[in-house]
A and B are shown apart, each in its own frame.
Chain A
């Protein structure tokens, strides 16, 4: 798993350890990599360390042992501005992700703080909104959108930064069937590398060729989704259910 035929994967996590200040060991040696163009599911019970892992991917949490590399670039303080442009992290609750007074302001936030000129900021915001299928939502208030619409805007906020990899936390949580279906179609059609943490096993079966199972802070399985979903013993041991 460590030979990359001379090229670096988009995302390379190696022997990552993290213990919270209260002594809880969240990660105990996570190793994984994601290649360009791959769509990978990250599953595991609550408390497995999925969220902690995600916060490491763009340097919000710093590794205590091991390393994270994005496009070959180590995630450390001096690289953070570049890393954050390359890792599009979408949080679970859109009310956390959408903190601006209008949809446009939110989608423009990333490019604006990356230092692009105003014209480029507007162009990127318009393109990102078009990519998620809501080109004329710019002037609306986040507060007035449905959960499904908010999730789309949340994804647009990171697409505007043109990331190398999208990292999504529970994208289908809280959605009704129609909103969920719309989001699945969107994720399927987006030509982006993505790592998606989820409890939605039907989503995993439908969308992701590869699945990584995380439990108790380590990767316990990593392989083709079909094989993992067929392994009843593995799923039961880690509190998961086949769809």
Chain B
């Protein structure tokens, strides 16, 4: 049994797949930046960003339904923005009363909430598209090539590799616990008190931590055995072609235009 949530790559040979990973990474980050800077209620700007994403998604030949479904992971996080519905001053739309407390959903609050929701959704969709069309080693190499600090690149690469291993280890621990969750034949309540159960879970987390520490030492030995001397090296991706530069220029230009127009209008 394996944990596979992180493996989002979908093989393919579309123009988007073949694009230089650095171009894709820069374009994705720029897209997210422009989306984040959209003013409240800039529906036109958001629509333009959505169109840009749609164009990229169509070129990638990855099924749209798949991308949209993966994009939904953003929604629960957007709930954190729920409070702006009530806290932004404006005309009340709906008034709620909780006991003696009066709260109202304001029009400005509703606009801001909808904007935040769309922004975060679009940002996640773009990241999902990047992950679906670029292998993780390529993303890591692109980060290194773009001078992202080495420690950060290494942490991201190792997290990607070992989250699977840790996830599998956690699954095994959980299964070992389940295998011993039994009831006495005479009946009676099984499972123990809440405090006892919490203790069991705490011990499992501790055990996972201790195993991870031990593993990190073995991994370090394996790295040292193969010539690691404190500095990780990566092969650079091949040189970007004229086509890559053209795509990067066009995409970033469009983003800039959308960003400026949305601010001015």
Contacts and interface: CB of A to CB of B under 8 A. Distances in A.
Contact of A91 (B7, B222, B228, B233): B222
A108 interface: yes
B157 A113 contact: no
A204 interface: no
Contacts of B162: 99
B90 interface: no
Contacts of B140: 101
Contacts of B234: 112
A55 interface: yes
Interface SS, B side: helix
Interface string B152-165: 00000110111011
Given A108-B235, A113-B227, 16 more contacts: A84-B225, A85-B227, A91-B225, A96-B215, A96-B221, A99-B222, A99-B223, A100-B157, A105-B137, A109-B227, A112-B233, A113-B228, A118-B236, A141-B136, A143-B2, A143-B161
A162 interface: no
Interface residues of A, number: 36
A237 B251 CA distance: 74
Contacts, number: 84
A164 interface: no
Contacts of B236: 118
B135 interface: yes
A81 B222 contact: no
A104 B162 CA distance: 17
Contacts of B225: 58, 60, 84, 87, 89, 91, 158
Interface string A98-122: 0111101100111011100010011
B227 A84 contact: yes
Interface in B162-180: 162, 164-165
Nearest to A81: B227
21 contacts: A60-B224, A81-B229, A84-B226, A87-B225, A89-B225, A91-B221, A97-B222, A99-B158, A100-B157, A101-B157, A102-B135, A108-B235, A109-B227, A112-B233, A112-B235, A113-B226, A118-B236, A122-B235, A143-B2, A144-B2, A158-B225
Interface string A53-86: 0010010100000000000000000000100110
Interface residues of B, number: 29
Contacts of A112: 233-235
B93 interface: no
Interface in B214-265: 215, 218-219, 221-229, 233-236
A99 B140 CA distance: 14
A115 to B, nearest CB: 8
Interface SS, A side: helix
Nearest to A109: B226
B105 to A, nearest CB: 46
A101 B136 contact: yes
A142 interface: yes
Contacts of A122: 235
B50 to A, nearest CB: 31
Interface in A111-150: 112-114, 118, 121-122, 139, 141-144
Contacts of A91: 218, 221-222, 225
A176 interface: no
A157 interface: yes
A55 to B, nearest CB: 7
Contacts of B2: 143-144
B227 A110 contact: yes
Nearest to A143: B164
Nearest to B140: A101
Contacts of A87: 225
A124 to B, nearest CB: 12
Contacts of A195: none
Q: Which of A110, A143, A158 has the most CB of B within 10 A?
A: A143
Contact of B235 (A55, A121, A161): A121
A96 B165 CA distance: 10
Interface in B192-234: 215, 218-219, 221-229, 233-234
Nearest to A89: B225
A114 B137 CA distance: 20
